[in-house]
Amino acid sequence: MKKTTRLSAIILAAGLTAGCSSISVEQLEAVTATANNALSEARAAQDTASNALSVANDAAAAATSAQSAADSAQSCCNANSERLDRAFSRAMSK
C-alpha cells in the first residue's frame, strides 16, 4: 500500500514536471521501472493474501469438523453418565 502511494506520488510529480518542462528518457525509464516494480510487488502481495485466505478457510473447516467431533463425543459421554447414574440409583434402591 505504501509503495502504491509512493508510486502515485512519483507519477504525479513526473506529470507535474512534464507540464513545466520536458522529461528525459532516463527519468521516464526510472518512473516506468518503479511502476513495474510496484506492480510486481502488489501482485506478489495479492498472491500471498490469497494463499493466506485459503489456509485460513482450510483451518476454519478443520476447526468446525473438530468441534463437531467434540460435541458428538460429549453427547456420548453425557449419555453414558446418565445410564451409569440410573444403574447406580437402581442398585442403591434395592
Q: pLDDT tens for residues 4-39?
A: 677 676 777 666 655 556 888 999 999 999 999 999
Instruction: Domain count for the chain, please give it.
Output: 1
C-alpha to C-alpha distance for 17 and 53, rounded to whole angstroms? 41
- State the greatest distance between any 2 C-alpha atoms of the chain, in Å, as a whole number: 107
Bin 72: left if φ > 0, else alpha if -120 < ψ < 50, else beta. Answer: alpha
Lowest mean pLDDT among 5-9, 31-35, 63-67, 71-75: 5-9
Which residues, including other chains, have CB under 8 Å from residue 49's CB and lie 6 or more apart? none
By percentage, how much of the chain surpasses pLDDT 70? 83
- Segment 47-63 shows an average pLDDT of 98
- The parent domain of residue 17 ranges over 2-93
Rounded to two decimals, the pTM is 0.55
